[in-house]
Structure 1
Amino acid sequence: MRVITGTARGRKLKALQGNETRPTADRVKEAVFSVIQFDVEGRRVLDLFAGSGQMGIEALSRGASSAVFVDMSPQAAAVIRENLSAAGFTRNSRLVTADGIGFLSSAKEQFDLIFLDPPYATKLINQALKLIEGFDILAKDGIIICESDVKSPEPEAPSPLRLHREYRYGRTKIRFYTKG
């Protein structure tokens, strides 16, 4: 796993050991950032269910102004902390060791880009989308990027969120949601 481009280009990132986390494949990450390439610079990012933090770190490397990383696993938090330090992004990032759904329920800020990559066999994407809309966490013109298994049903996005684009990469499905 590595940072693809930007100020931290080529930096290797650590991943959690074991099967609890499933890092986004480099080709999927590259495809996601190809779609949002003009929507990253200067943006505020939320990497929810962050795992290794690679999506938020890639956004920071490409010019995002700040990123919040949320994962409930202390092991994941330790890996994210190491990766942020290795990439040089400790100053413009915040790490929260908490349940992602709980974080959304108490969030007091808006984000321009939100990465949602919860464990595949859960309905956490549906819960997260409802909370993001209910608590007005997505900024105007913001984008939510959801990663799931191709067999997962399409999440139920509450209005005014709408599915903007959808892509399939092997066994991974990426959905982009916007407001209105």
Structure 2
Amino acid sequence: MRIVAGRLGGRRIEAPAGHRTRPTADRVREALFSILGPVDGARVLDLYAGSGALGIEALSRGAAEAVFVDRDRRAVAAIRANLATLEIEAPVLCADAADYLEGRRAPGAPGPFDLVFADPPYSSAAALTGPLSALLPAVLSEDARIVTESDNRAPLELDFPVVTARRYGDTRIAVHRAS
């Protein structure tokens, strides 16, 4: 995998070992960021981060900060290795996304976030609609965008207005607005 554009464009990143993660393809990331447009200065939350590709791509394109959350230890190790290779400092948390969102209300916690990526395992995406829809508002800035990636046959549909949704093979990308 590679970073598509920005100051780190062309640099390679690694996916976690094993088959439990499904990194967002370069072409899908490129299309997604074309849809999103500029992300300069954005505070980014990358949930179910896997390799960290989405959050790293946002940082490469000018996002101010990113927080990476994944509950898989191999994914967390891969994200930390990718950030170290690219000489980026960012928080990487080994936690369940819902647990992180519930605990994020603590004083001094990062946020609010302007851009949230939610790319859960395809097999559990549909079951996360309620919990994510309930927990995300507490961490979002007023004009935040939420990007979901899921299986086109069982999409992750949040209770936020959809700005656009696109299909790339079996993958569905949807961009939501917080308000």
TM-score, normalised to structure 2's length?
A: 0.92
Aligned partner of 1:132 in structure 2 is 136
CA-CA distance at 1:119 after TM superposition: 0.5
Aligned partner of 1:149 in structure 2 is 151
Aligned partner of 1:98 in structure 2 is 95
Amino acid at match of 1:139: S
CA-CA distance at 1:154 after TM superposition: 5.4
The answer to whether the 8 Å contact 2:44/2:113 transfers is yes
Distance 1:62 1:8 in 2: 8
Distance 1:141 1:95 in 2: 24
Distance 1:154 1:75 in 2: 24
CA-CA distance at 1:143 after TM superposition: 0.3
SS in 2 for 1:82: helix
The answer to whether the 8 Å contact 2:149/2:174 transfers is yes
Aligned partner of 2:17 in structure 1 is 17
Could you say what the CA RMSD is over the residues aligned between the two structures, in angstroms?
1.2
The answer to whether the 8 Å contact 2:16/2:77 transfers is no
SS in 2 for 1:88: coil
Report sequence identity in percent. 44
The aligned length equals: 172
Distance 2:71 2:157 in 1: 22
The answer to whether the 8 Å contact 2:28/2:168 transfers is yes
Structure 1 residue runs of 5 or longer lacking an equivalent are none
TM-score, normalised to structure 1's length?
A: 0.91
CA-CA distance at 1:125 after TM superposition: 4.2
Deviations 1:121-144 (A, max 9, x none): 1122442122102xx211111100
Distance 1:150 1:129 in 2: 19
Structure 2 residue runs of 5 or longer lacking an equivalent are 106-110
- Going from structure 1 to structure 2, the CA distance change for 1:156 and 1:37 (only over 3 Å counts) comes to closer
The runs of at least 4 consecutive aligned structure 1 residues that moved more than 3 Å come to: none
Distance 2:129 2:173 in 1: 12
